[in-house]
Structure 1
Amino acid sequence: MSAGRSSRVPPARQRGFTLLEVIIAFAVLALALTLLLGTLSGSAREVRASADAGRAALHAQSLLDQVGVGEALSPGSRDGEFEDGRYRWHLRIDPYVDPTMRTRDTIEPGAARLMLLALDVEWGDGGPRQSLQLQTLRLSQPDAFGGGSF
């Protein structure tokens, strides 16, 4: 070795991330988190909508179970609400007319007859409201004292 020469090896270039790479990584992370949070909030909305629909179905079933208990059904309509107005309902009772019958048979007074119960339940604040429509048939026994209400 000569005295004038140094035995130094050029310093190795340090490896790392450039500023541009770090910025791109943060942008990709932010986009992924935005998509994830959007999915989670959408799922939470769906769970709430499902819970509301389930509660509406339970209220509707409860109301239909009470209609005509202990008294004869008579045609008419009724409105009401559940849970302090959160769910609103409209019940319509009409005599059932069989669509397959070509001629209308006369029904004897005092005979039992089928009644069509149509229940509409609505809920939701502002925007498009959610609704549930149920229909069922009930056999209406005539009231011994003539007439009756639901």
Structure 2
Amino acid sequence: METVGFQLFPASTFPRFPVSLSSRKEGFTLLEILVALALLGIAITVILQLFSANLRALSVSGDYVSAAIRADAKMREILEDSDLSEKSWSEVTDDGYRFDASVTEKLPERTANLQIRLLEITLTMQWPEGSKTKYLTLKTLRTVNKKI
């Protein structure tokens, strides 16, 4: 009887199981495959949600850019008016955009001794988007000659 270390029984009485890596069968276990598929599913879901959010952001930014271009064109139209005076008005376009414009004198006490007046032009643009109404406001100043 041969003993090694703390071995109480002879080695020949225990069945031998090969433990070497070469005897392990090739492939993955079912648990490994399930974990990999779960991780893949989570990753694909996150990626699709990011694409969806990106498309929504692109749509909204496109609407704002379009509105800013329209508002800028309207502001330039107002600024080109040679008889600009204090007034307020509203317009609605065929495609649903509404413009509210007002021209008011700014700092009259500072320009009292000058031959010019300082006018503030405020342009507010509204447009429907779904169930909400979006707003964009532009403001600028312009000097005009005083009428005597």
Residues 5-53 of structure 1 deviation map (CA, whole Å, 9 limit, x = unaligned)? xxxxx9x553322222222211111110111111111111222222222
Shift of 1:74: 2.2
2:111·2:117 contact (CA, 8 Å) conserved in 1? Answer: no
- Counterpart residue number, 1:134: 138
The number of residues matched between the two structures is 126
In the aligned structure 1, how far is the partner of 2:37 from the partner of 2:128?
39
TM-score (norm 2): 0.68
- Counterpart residue number, 2:49: 38
Question: What CA RMSD, in Å, does the superposition of the two structures yield over aligned residues?
Answer: 3.0
In the aligned structure 2, how far is the partner of 1:68 from the partner of 1:113?
14
- Counterpart residue number, 2:29: 18
Change (3 A) 1:106 1:65: closer
User: Over alpha carbons, which structure has the higher Rg?
Assistant: 2
Tell me, which stretches of 5 or more residues in structure 2 are unaligned?
1-17
1:72·1:141 contact (CA, 8 Å) conserved in 2? Answer: no
In the aligned structure 2, how far is the partner of 1:50 from the partner of 1:33?
26
Residues 82-138 of structure 1 deviation map (CA, whole Å, 9 limit, x = unaligned)? 5611x332211111126xxxxx36858xx5422100112233524664432211112
- Counterpart residue number, 2:14: none
Q: Percent identity?
A: 31
TM-score (norm 1): 0.67
In the aligned structure 2, how far is the partner of 1:41 from the partner of 1:105?
53
- Counterpart residue number, 1:91: 101
Ranked by relative contact order (alpha carbons within 8 Å, sequence separation 6 or more), the top structure is 1
